[in-house]
Amino acid sequence: MKKYGKKYAPWLLFLFVAACLLTSTAAALPDSGAAASVPQAELEQALEEAIFRRRDGTPADVSQYNLTEEQLAPVTAGVLADNYADALVTVSYDSAGANSVSAMDVEMDSTLSMALDELDQINENSPEPMGGPELQTVYAHYAELQAYYESEPEYFGLPCPYFTSKDTETSPIGAILAVAGIPQAAIDAGDSRTIQQVDQIILGFTDALRGYVAEYGDALLAARDRALSHLDSNMTAAEKLLVLNDWLAGSCTFDMSAVTTGEEPTDMIGSTAFGALVKQNCACLGYSAAYVYLVQCAFPEIYQNGDGSWKTKEEVNGGENPAYLIDFVKIIWDADVSILGEESHFGEPHFFNAVKLDGKWYYADPCYSDISVQCIGRNRVETDGNLSHLYFLCSDPTMREWYRGNFKTIDTLYQELAVHDEYEDAWFTDAAGPVSYDDDYWYYVKNQSTLEQISPTEAHYNQVPDQLVARPRTLTDPLSTAGETVLLDYATGQGATTGGAAVTSELVQNEYLLFQAYAEKYPSLAHSLALYRNALYFNTSNKILKYDLHSGAVSLVKEYNRVSAVRDTSNPFPGQSFSVVPEGSADIAHTVFNPPPRRPLSQGRRQAVRPGRHQFLPYL
């Protein structure tokens, strides 16, 4: 019998054939006494047909073989193992009498069943459809992929309902094509990939996942642990989601190469959590996959057993009241846009997430939170510290209104569930840039623009003065601002410490006037902050300033009057191709005097301040 996915040495095959010819053309099953000899190849083929190709939910008649369960069970187990389905298919037997099995009941994993249905359809639409044995090999290749993926939750987390539900437009095979970077138009066409091509994609996906685990598995777990280290037991579920959202934005860069070149990616890692967490460069699906993985790891009480082992997808996703907290959502754009100065029609998908808090569903888009100025405003590239929270915990109706007239469909399981908008008025919605914290306070730059002044689809800098704000962590009502302290108002230079001492800084007031001048020239500039050793570091014009949390004193840390950069010409996206080099370096290609502000960035209270990319680089 063929062992799918395995290769045997030719001499072993020769010995097997010779042995069959010398003995009998009908290899008999072990006889328990009353059973007749049955050709094993015929029985195995019949079992494959009953298990993998019938799929109608009715018992399969096997009475003609006159076999006992003792005889039939090991052959069935062999067929399942050969097709990598022993963990995906359950078989039980109906006995007509004491010595024979009349029928076989097959219970197949719903995801596998959906995938096999898709493969059948693809095969029918292919110019050269495969026959039964060939198609069975493709079935086995897919089952191997699914079985491997679900056997490694430590690296992949648990499967989400989105890709396995019959109520979404994206199916298991469609998910593989999406990860592989197949254009949405090709997926919609249905007949743009032959069964032979899909088979190769499945094989490549399996090899890629195994390779990622082997080569990057330890790095992925280390990145996961770094992310989770920023959570603590005093955080609410919403606050944990916020911290992970901001951490991911600060750790990952959006990969514009596919958009720039218009070519299908040669490596699918950018559409996986490995791309986001290890390579730190990925597509929107990579952001969403990484957020799913981190959230699942952050809530072990939902996704894991007491001993640290992972629960099954049936335990978490199944039942009348499933426990899972996060899923995928896909929007398919239908818009006329300008990409790199060229007008074109954009019809590709964008992935984001649905999250559950206190039994209610909301949308969270960690990708657009990070890159709104780059992919929404399209007036500069992503820079460290430029982070919007408009896309965090919003409702389905709100998102549809934002994108009205520019999308074809939103493929979601939560249109009727994600209708709650209370978090759209939460304190973090006003936070410009990442939120920092210590044991007592959240610290953030408060943008005082109203939602009516901010367009989620047109990123720009608002001229309303920002404020440095401290928010008590004991304040768990996200809609309340009671107890918040304005540490510093950028326009007036005045504020107070959390202890109540007044703060006045002419330096901040003067720098804000300079910042406004920069903002009129360069779009989408913004303030952000970072917490380090009891001080807040924040950007103004071309300077980084320090606010001492004890005294309220403001001092100059760094002034950038001359900055030089080199360009990596191999990067197909010019805006992300520059990096700063020391003065006097032979690699200097560009020098800018009195450049726009740098953004400081911290990834948590235990991290050092790291200055972000100079904001002038996207304009060179």
Q: Report the 3 state secondary structure along 228-244.
A: HCCCCCCCCHHHHHHHH
Distance CA 80, CA 73 (A): 11
Can you tell me the distance from the alpha carbon of 268 to that of 282, in angstroms, rounded to the nearest whole number? 9
Q: What is the pLDDT of residue 516?
A: 80
Q: What are 288-332's pLDDT values in tens digits?
A: 999 999 999 999 999 999 999 999 999 999 999 999 999 999 999
Residue 482 token pair: 């009671």
Distances 232 to 433, 435, 579 between C-alpha atoms, Å: 21, 15, 35
Q: Render 85-130 in DSSP notation, one character per residue.
A: -TTTEEEEEEEEETTEEEEEEEEE-HHHHHHHHHHHHHHHHSSS--
pLDDT per position as a tens digit, 243-274: 999 999 989 988 876 665 555 556 789 999 99
Q: What residue segments make up the domains of the chain, in order of their start?
A: 10-108, 115-205, 431-560+597-605
- 323 burial (CB, 10 Å; 0-12 / 13-18 / 19+) is middle
What's the pLDDT tens digit per position in 479-523? 999 899 999 999 999 999 999 999 999 999 998 888 888 777 766
d(CA 313, CA 315): 5
Which pLDDT band, with edges at 50, 70 and 90, does 188 fall under? low
Of 453, 529, 527, nearest to 491 by C-alpha is 527
Least confident stretch, 345-354, 366-375, 398-407: 366-375
Q: Which residue has the higher pLDDT, 44 or 192?
A: 44
Q: What does the alpha-carbon distance between residue 223 and residue 297 come to, in Å, rounded to a whole number?
A: 12
CA distance 543 to 558: 6
pLDDT of residue 452: 45
- As a whole number, mean pLDDT of residues 363-367 equals 96
Among 35-39, 117-121, 280-284, which stretch is predicted with the lowest mean pLDDT? Answer: 35-39
Averaged over 37-56, what is the pLDDT?
A: 89
pLDDT of residue 559: 87
What are the tokens at 140? 């086995």
Rounded to an integer, the average pLDDT of 526-553 is 91
Question: What pairs with residue 329 in β-bridges?
Answer: 352
**pLDDT for residue 606 is more than 90:** no
Q: What is the pLDDT of residue 388?
A: 87
Taking residues 203-217, report their average pLDDT.
Answer: 97
pTM of the entire structure? 0.86
8 versus 390: which is more confidently predicted? Answer: 390
Return the pLDDT at 601.
Answer: 43
Asked if pLDDT for residue 359 goes beyond 80, the answer is yes
Neighbouring C-beta atoms of residue 298, cutoff 10 Å: 22
Residue 159 confidence (pLDDT): 96
Mean pLDDT across the stretch 72-85?
Answer: 96
350 touches 284 (CB < 8 A): yes
Alpha carbon distance 488, 475 (integer Å): 20
CB of 144 within 8 A of CB of 206?
yes
Quote the pLDDT of residue 276.
Answer: 96
Residue 21 has pLDDT above 60, yes or no: no
CA angle 297, 303, 305 (to 5 degrees): 110
Average pLDDT, the chain: 83
Instruction: Tell me which range, 40-44, 244-248, 579-583, 613-617, is most confidently predicted by mean pLDDT.
Output: 244-248
pLDDT above 70 for 353: yes
What average pLDDT does range 348-375 have in this prediction?
88
| pLDDT confidence of residue 191 | 52
Closest CA to 157 of 311, 323, 296, 356: 296
How many angstroms separate the CA atoms of 328 and 26, rounded?
A: 51
63 or 183, higher pLDDT: 63
What's the pLDDT at 605?
40
Each residue of 223-237: pLDDT tens digit? Answer: 999 999 999 999 999
* Predicted pLDDT of residue 341: 60
- Using a 10 angstrom Cβ sphere, with 0-12 exposed, 13-18 middle and 19 or more buried, the burial of residue 354 is buried
Nearest CA-CA partner of 432 in 391, 384, 386, 489: 386
pLDDT at 139: 98
Q: What is the largest CA-CA distance in the chain?
A: 100
Share of the chain above pLDDT 70, in %: 77
- What is the radius of gyration, based on Cα positions, of the chain? 29
The answer on pLDDT for 4 being more than 50 is: no
Which pLDDT does position 406 carry in this prediction?
87
Average pLDDT for 132-146? 97
The span from the CA of 619 to the CA of 254, in Å, is 18
Torsion angle defined by CA atoms of residues 517, 520, 524 and 528, in that order, rounded to the nearest 10 degrees = 20
Residues contacting residue 314 through CB under 8 Å, at least 6 positions apart: none
Residues 83, 140 contacting (CB under 8 angstroms): yes
pLDDT of residue 112: 96
| Span between the terminal Cα atoms of the chain, in Å | 64
| pLDDT reported for residue 199 | 96
Q: Do residues 90 and 146 make contact, with C-beta atoms less than 8 angstroms apart?
A: no
- What is the CA 456 to chain-centroid distance, rounded? 21
